[in-house]
Amino acid sequence: MSDLDQFIAAFDVDDPAFIADPYPTLDALREATPIFWNEATGQWMLTRFNDVSAALKNRALGRDYTHRYTHEELGRSEPDQKWTKFHEHERWSLLCLEPPDHTRLRRLVSKVFTPSSIARLADPIAAISDELLDQCADAGTFDLLADYAQPYSVAVICSMLGVPRADTQLLLGWSHAIVKMYELSASDEVKQSADKAAGEYIDYTRALIADKRARPDGLLLSELVQVEDGGATLTEDEIISTTMVLVEAGHEATVNTLGNGFRALMAHRDQWDRVVQHDVTPASTVEELLRFDPPLQMFERWVLEADTEIAGQRVRVGDEIAMLFGAAQRDPRRFDKPAKFDVGRDDPGHIGFGGGIHFCIGAPLARQELIRSVEGIVSRFPDLRLVDEPTYHPTFVIRGLTGLTVATG
């Protein structure tokens, strides 16, 4: 067996050791080859930063293929009808669409999801953060995820959308169940839970839309109901998919960036001290949290055009390209000493928010949430320390901790 074959074999998303620290394997794969065929997943996998960045912008690739080909034409199975509610929730997701639907939908969403609307959230974000950090201070020892990051993230999104804060736990549970469907080895039990959650979430959102039509409040969901551009409006199904993906993607990204990032800060006390002593800005710190141990480890695209070449490899229409963000974000061709956790790197040119037409529409909001969290936690708890060594969820695509117990002194 060649070295490359051994590295590919080590890419085992069901191996607890790989999940605990995938970076040695990802590093070995990246240095061995820019692209490889993974027989286990049936995908071409990209490992290097420039190739991943180029693939994100390559219009010969797409997040979907059904706007150009049938499943039969590409030799692929129809979507499993057992999971109809999950597929319904994804049908109009910005993450899954291609032009012209993506162009139309993103333009309409962008008319209400504006820099000014996000700027208006600064005070509510600060208030939610302060409220939760007050509770953490009173406790002395707390779980940074369960007691702060999770309720903080979902409360911010709900305040933006106009979702009652009393319902945040409902949305949190649905989101956790649904996103597990994106893993490479999701079991039928996981898929069943995801489909059930998607159905309940769709019903909830449909009822909420009806309420916003009757009683508009000027918040994002209400604005999505009313938005118009050249006579074009959003359908109810499009609004449902849009609001659901904003909650799911925004919540999971913020929570896992804070969890993975503060784990790194606690493990690198010299870097923690730099933040505490204001040698680096919270904004610079956040960019390194997004790069070093990213919450999204893999993003896929389909080959849509013949005669396409990716990283020197000729690929066929219907092939799936999996971009390994964790490998790319530690590519020494792009980042100096990439294995070093350096909060002063101050490099926003990573791919933590994707790229191309699918660049995360919520990136400005996520950055604002994360910066406020770093500011608040560091100023209140300069002697923060880890109580227990945390463990990661047994998932690869979405990488996050099961908890992060810390003490304030």
Instruction: Give residue-wise pLDDT tens across range 317-347.
Output: 999 999 999 999 999 999 999 999 999 999 9
High-pLDDT (> 90) share of the chain, %: 66
pLDDT tens-place string over residues 175-222: 888 888 888 778 889 889 999 999 999 999 999 999 999 999 888 889
Which among 249, 254, 324, 261 has a CA at the least distance from the CA of 291?
Answer: 261
Longest dimension (CA), the chain: 66
3-state secondary structure of 345: coil
Residues linked to residue 314 through DSSP beta bridges, in sequence order: 309
Which among 290, 395, 348, 313 has a CA at the least distance from the CA of 55?
Answer: 313
What CATH number does the domain containing 383 carry?
1.10.630.10
pLDDT tens-place string over residues 241-300: 988 888 887 788 899 999 999 999 999 999 999 999 999 999 999 999 999 999 999 999
CA 331 to chain CA centroid, Å, is 20
In this structure, which amino acid lies at residue 403? Answer: G
Core vs surface per residue 264-303: b (16+ CB within 10 A) or e: bbbebeebbebbbeeebbbebbbbbbbbbbbbbbbbbbbb
- Strand-by-strand arrangement of the 385-386 sheet: 141-143, 405-407, 385-386
219, 158 contact by CB (below 8 A): no
Q: List CB contacts of 248: < 8 A, sequence separation 6 or more.
A: 175, 178, 179
CA 85 to chain CA centroid, Å, is 21
Distance CA 94, CA 198 (A): 16
Domain count for the chain, please give it: 1
pLDDT tens-place string over residues 353-391: 999 998 888 888 999 999 999 999 999 999 999 999 999
Print the domain residue range for 309.
3-407
Structure tokens at 195: 């489909």
Pure H helices in 148-187? 150-161, 168-179
3-state secondary structure of 287: helix
